[in-house]
Structure formats: structure tokens, C-alpha cells
Structure 1
Amino acid sequence: MSEEKLMSKKKPAYPISKELDEYLDYYNRKIEIPIHYEDLLRFSGSVAVYDANDEDTLWVRVYYPEFDRDEIDLALKRVYSIFVSDGSDSILQYLNVDYVDYCTFGNSKPFRIKVRNILNDNYTLLYVKKTDASRVYGLELEHMLSPYNLNFVIYENTLIEEHIVGIPGDLFIKNNLPECSSFDKAQIAKEFVKFNERCMIRLLGDMRSYNYVVVPTHDFDSVVYKIRAIDFDQQCYEGKLKVYRPQFFKENNVMVDLVQNKLTINSVEQYILEERSIIAKRILSWGRRLKLLLEICRKDKISTPENTEMLKTQLQELTGDIKFRDSKNMGEVLTYALDFVKRNYEDVSMKQIIEKKF
């Protein structure tokens, strides 16, 4: 199936509702910052950014007029202090804004900021984007239902995210995977199965290879590989269930082949069951906070009626759970999906939900 048919042409940005804004404020995700996304758009020029192999990264390095540069640099240093420290000005003298990059590829059109500590050359990357309710729900769900904590804040129409460290999936598949041992490839296949399941359960779409990273961690005499999502604006929007399963994007064909070649069907079933069990336990452990987020999401508009109707029908066919039939919006579809996992993670028949492609 082609990408054009699999996904919509353009997903709109949805505003932050009053209830979601109050939720973010309560859980310290809402902080006053001294710069807005629109301020960074005042650049006067740019040059393309190329990687070590002299290939276009689709980012451009932007430059500001002299009378704007000092003001923007100071504001970005203060953003860094607020985001990762106590918000005081005492550390500003030790910081330098090395560059501001802008990406015109994709929906969010983010800015990437490199802030460096001049005393030791350690640096932090921050991403500045426009706020989008879909992305905020995606970030919060990733924080609660994945193995990873996320640091992000919003202020009015501006969202700031901390960089997620790892090797972009497309680059890993091209440059690193061919050099991996047979043991490593089996481990990566296992992680892709778990990642595929995690995305489907919490309805995170569009996990093409450039929207996730592979994280290698050295452990004694071996390397442990994990897969992490890095783009969250396709949370609960599309109507086709396949959009929420990374295995159906052609960019991930190499990973799918790896699963088929390195894992048996029994192993795939086992890893799916493991992931569902872990997510069910996370749903229970987050308790009130997750329940409140889902209540807000059920009142919100983050997709179209057509997409909601399509997805709830496909999920009902997949799970046999008639609750999906009564879903009025994507918030309710998401709630029933997580509730299904929580209720059935120990006794659901895994064979009924594994696509033949695996």
C-alpha cells in the first residue's frame, strides 16, 4: 500500500483546550518562557545543513539581523535555564547558543537549538515548535506508557521539547544494521516487535524510520538496543489502523524482514504479550493522572468524524470488543483501546491480533 493512500495528505494542528491547559499547568508542563515560536521566524538568511557524508539533512541553519541576534540568544539561554535548571540568570554567562536550525520538512516545522556550556563544552539540544493538542497528548502518553520519561513544556502557542538521544532509524538501517552481529539483529527484531505493539496500543501513528531512533547501550561485553519514538503529532488522528503499526511503512521493510528471519511466530507472540503486560501495568500504576488525561481527551477534538468511524470499526473487528462501536470521538477510541489492554492482557488470544506479515 502506498504512503499516499495509507495516510492523509496533511494533518491540521489542533488547539490546546482549556481543560488540557489546566492539566498541563497542574502537572508543571506549563511554564512562562521569554520567547515564542514566531520570534524565531524572524531570521534573515539560512544555509543548508549537510551531514558527514555531504548529504542534505533537510535542516537549514538560520541567521538573524545583528539587532535581533543578541535578544534571541539571551532569550534562548533563559529558556535553557528554565527548562533544565532553576530558572535563574546565574548560569547565563557560561552558556553559548551555537546555532539555530530550522526544518521545513514535516508538519511541525521545528527549530533545533544547540546550547553549549563554555566551561566544559557539554551541550543540550532543544526543539521549539508550535503547540498542537495531538502532539501534547502523544508526549504525555509516551511519558506514561513507554519505558521513557519525557521533558517538555508549553507556553501559550509555543512547545519546547528536550532532544531524544539516539541514531535516527533510517540512518541506523542504512549504516549500522549491516554491521550488527546475528545476535544483535535478533535483539533488534525483538525490540521492533515491541515497538510496533506499543505504537498500536496507544495509537501513535506515522512511525516511519525517520520518526524513531535506535538507542544502543553498552552493557558489559554486549550492546543492548532500544527503539524510541521521537515524533508525536500523529497521535490518535488517522482512521486506518495500519498507520499505527510501524511494520506497514515501506521505510521499515528491512526491520520487518529482520523479524521474519530472526524470530519464530512463538517468539513474536511472546514479545507481544510481554509488551501488552508491561503497558497494562503502567496504565494501572499511573492511575489518576492517566485517567484525568483520558477524560480531557474524550471531550477534545483531535481528529475527524470519518477517521474516528473508520478506526473504531477496524479496532472492533480486530479485538471483538463491542465497546468500540459506541465511540463518539478519538478520545473515546483511545480510552477503550487502553481499557481493552488493561482488562485482557493476561488472557487475550495473541494469534488473533498478529498480522500475517510477521
Structure 2
Amino acid sequence: MSQKKPAYPVSDLLKDYLVEYSRNIKIPVFYEDLLRFQGSIVVYDKNDEDTLWVRVYYSDYEREDIDLSLKKVYTILHSNGNEDIIQYLSIDAIDYCTFGNSKPFRVKVRNILNDNYTHFYVKKADASRIYGLELEHVLSPYNLNFLVYKDTLIEEHIAGIPGDEFIKEMLPECNESEKSQIAKEFVKFNERCMIRLLGDMRSYNYVIVPVHDFDQVVYRIRAIDFDQQSFEGKFRVYSPQYFKENFKMVTLVSEKLQGSSIAQYKLEERSIVAKRILSSETRINHLLDCMKKDSISTEANIDLLRQQVFRFTSDIAFKKSNNMGEILETAMDFVTRNYESLRTY
């Protein structure tokens, strides 16, 4: 991994894309507004360990305006801006994380009628992250809800068990059938991240989602951090299997799956991603056009990545790629070409 990745501004072309697909909507509060907190206290987990989040508080005259603005953001994100529900909402907590690149605020919103609550995040807008969110929305099995306005990004919370916590506390308690299913899902998750160049999927950057299905629990893996979309030069960074934090997951794969099964699941995932690319071709091409004309990495990273992907695929088109957008476009073309050749064989 490189040192800290810079935040890249949202280009005019990307902004136009966001407007077209209803991602760019005026909001009443900005990231910088939340930075005006007066103080903070450390947030601990159930085991009294530091979560690396702090709970912030504001002066009385600012808190009322901030609370109201955040409630309005919630209504824009979840109910098309209908403010009738504001009277039933409470901003229970605003947490700030100094760990990582994005330094997000996490807002806890509670419905006072029934005590149900949810979270959303307020972050500094970064083009890399926005490309990552949009690619996840289109190419993964999951839809994402987010908004961008000027230099502020609003993301809905992705529910699930943090990967590091699951691996440490829950994986040992899973039965053998569940472990096999988790191993299969990790292979598919690894393949999906590699295809769309989503990097840094260490165990704390994804969540495990248990889904009850008849008489079994099926586990899904979802990325939750999209900061490292198409930035790094090392190709291995885009494969979760190479991070030491995922060692137990890799060991699980080797214990539970034969080589032929691993190859089968990789092929299945490539085929599913290819189908999504083809079915959303107009939207994907529009996004890639923005990305090809954008600057979201360094020349050194671009040169290194195109060389390493060429060695991995032997596709000469990667050597001709001039930026991260073109590398990603070539990767998607590579996947869809192989899918269509298999389908017509």
C-alpha cells in the first residue's frame, strides 16, 4: 500500500453524471460545518476498547441548527426530502473518526415513536470514493444510497458484522457447512474486487451479512470502504486474499475448497459481473468516460498497474491504457469478451 491517498476533487464531468443519475442534490449542511465541534469524548465498544471514534458535541446555539440540518439530510436520503417526518426524528449522536483517509462523521438518527435507529455518514467528497460507490452500486449484488453536493458526500450505513470482528469472534463458532459457504463467498468477493479494481479490502473494510434462508444461514460479504478505488499501482492490492488481516479467510478457503471448486466460483463471479456490465452498458460507459478524463491516481501507479495487469492477463490492450479509467475499461472489456466467447462456444 502507498502512503496516504490524497482526496481528488469532483470534476465537472463527474458532477454532470451525478446530476443525471440523481446523486447530486442540494443539502443544508456541509462536512466543514460538522468540524466546528467544541469538544469530544472517546467512544468505547462493549469490551471497553477504544473504537477510534470520538463523540463530538457543539455549542448550544449551533447544536439546534446542526440537528435540524442533519434531520433534513436524512429525509433527502431516505424519503425524497419529505419533511413531515422531521418531528419524529432525533439526532442521538454525532461521532468523528480520525482513523483512515476520509475522517468521516457518523450520525445516529432515531425515530422517537418506536426507538428504531439508523446511521448515515458525512464525508469530504473524493472522486475516487464516488467512482467506487457507483461501481459497487452497478456491478455488485447490492444497491447503494449516497448523495454528493459540492465538497460533501453523504453515505447511508451498510449494515453487517465488521469482518475483523466476525473472523475473531464468530467464525470459530460456525459449523462446517457454514465455513464452506463463507469460503465460497470470500472467493467470489475476492474476484469481484479484483475485476473492478477496488483496493484495500482488509478485514475491517468489509462486513459479513448473515441471511437466514429456510433451515440455514447464508453469509454475504459487502465492501464498506471505497476510498481505494483505482488508485494503487500494485495489482495485489486489489485482491483481498493478499492482506494479512484476511489470512484466516484464505486458510479457510484452502481447507474447505478444492482447486476445481475455486476455479468454478471465480468463473461464476466473472460471468455475473459480465452480465451486470452488459445490462448496464450505457451507465457504465458514461461513468468510464468521466473516469478516463479524470485524474485519480499518480503516473507511477498507473504505469505499474498496467504492467502488472498485462503480466496477469497477457492482454496487450492494458499496455496501451493511459490512465486508471482506461485500465478499468480494458479490464471490463476483458471480462465481457471472455464471457461472450464462452456463451457462444
Residue in 1 that maps onto 2:96: 102
Residue in 2 that maps onto 1:128: 122
CA separation in 2, counterparts of 1:148 and 1:328?
A: 30
After superposition, residues 44-59 of structure 1 pair within 5 angstroms as 44-59=38-53
Residue in 2 that maps onto 1:89: 83
Equivalent of 2:309 in 302, 315, 336: 315
Residue in 2 that maps onto 1:271: 265
Residue in 1 that maps onto 2:324: 330
Read off the aligned partner of 1:43 and give its amino acid letter.
F
Equivalent of 2:276 in 282, 285, 308: 282
Residue in 2 that maps onto 1:178: 172
- Judge conservation of contact 1:277–1:346 (CA < 8 Å) in 2: no
- Judge conservation of contact 1:204–1:234 (CA < 8 Å) in 2: yes
CA separation in 1, counterparts of 2:74 and 2:324?
A: 35
Residue in 2 that maps onto 1:36: 30
Cα displacement (A) at 1:345: 2.9
1:198 aligns with 2:163: no
- What per-residue deviation string (whole Å, max 9, x for no partner) do you get for residues 62-101 of structure 1? 0111111101001001111111013132111110000000
Percent identity between the aligned chains? 67
Residue in 1 that maps onto 2:210: 216
Residue in 2 that maps onto 1:292: 286
Q: CA RMSD in A?
A: 0.9
Name the SS of the counterpart of 2:95 in structure 1: strand
Residue in 2 that maps onto 1:351: none
- What per-residue deviation string (whole Å, max 9, x for no partner) do you get for residues 144-195 of structure 1? 1000000000110000000001000000001110100010000000000000
- What per-residue deviation string (whole Å, max 9, x for no partner) do you get for residues 301-356 of structure 1? 111111011100111111110000111111100000011000013668xxxxxxxx
- What per-residue deviation string (whole Å, max 9, x for no partner) do you get for residues 238-269 of structure 1? 00000000000000000000000000000000
TM-score norm. by structure 2 comes to: 0.98
Read off the aligned partner of 1:208 and give its amino acid letter.
R
Residue in 1 that maps onto 2:132: 138
Give 5+ residue unaligned stretches, structure 2: none
Residue in 2 that maps onto 1:355: none
CA separation in 2, counterparts of 1:276 and 1:300?
A: 26
Read off the aligned partner of 2:12 and give its amino acid letter.
K
Residue in 1 that maps onto 2:162: 168
- Judge conservation of contact 1:95–1:116 (CA < 8 Å) in 2: yes
CA separation in 1, counterparts of 2:198 and 2:221?
A: 14
CA separation in 2, counterparts of 1:258 and 1:345?
A: 28
Equivalent of 1:257 in 244, 251, 269: 251
1:302 aligns with 2:308: no
Residue in 2 that maps onto 1:77: 71
Read off the aligned partner of 2:163 and give its amino acid letter.
G
CA separation in 2, counterparts of 1:274 and 1:178?
A: 27
Give 5+ residue unaligned stretches, structure 1: 1-6, 349-358
Residue in 2 that maps onto 1:153: 147
CA separation in 1, counterparts of 2:323 and 2:16?
A: 21
Cα displacement (A) at 1:53: 1.1
1:114 aligns with 2:113: no
Give the number of aligned pairs: 342
1:8 aligns with 2:2: yes
CA separation in 2, counterparts of 1:19 and 1:167?
A: 36
CA separation in 1, counterparts of 2:340 and 2:236?
A: 24
Cα displacement (A) at 1:54: 1.0
CA separation in 1, counterparts of 2:84 and 2:180?
A: 49
Equivalent of 2:229 in 221, 232, 235: 235
CA separation in 2, counterparts of 1:240 and 1:308?
A: 9
Read off the aligned partner of 1:105 and give its amino acid letter.
F
CA separation in 2, counterparts of 1:149 and 1:244?
A: 21
Read off the aligned partner of 1:147 and give its amino acid letter.
P
- Judge conservation of contact 1:324–1:336 (CA < 8 Å) in 2: yes
Name the SS of the counterpart of 1:91 in structure 2: helix
Name the SS of the counterpart of 1:58 in structure 2: strand
Name the SS of the counterpart of 1:160 in structure 2: strand
Residue in 2 that maps onto 1:188: 182
Cα displacement (A) at 1:279: 0.3
Read off the aligned partner of 2:219 and give its amino acid letter.
Y
Name the SS of the counterpart of 2:210 in structure 1: strand
TM-score norm. by structure 1 comes to: 0.94
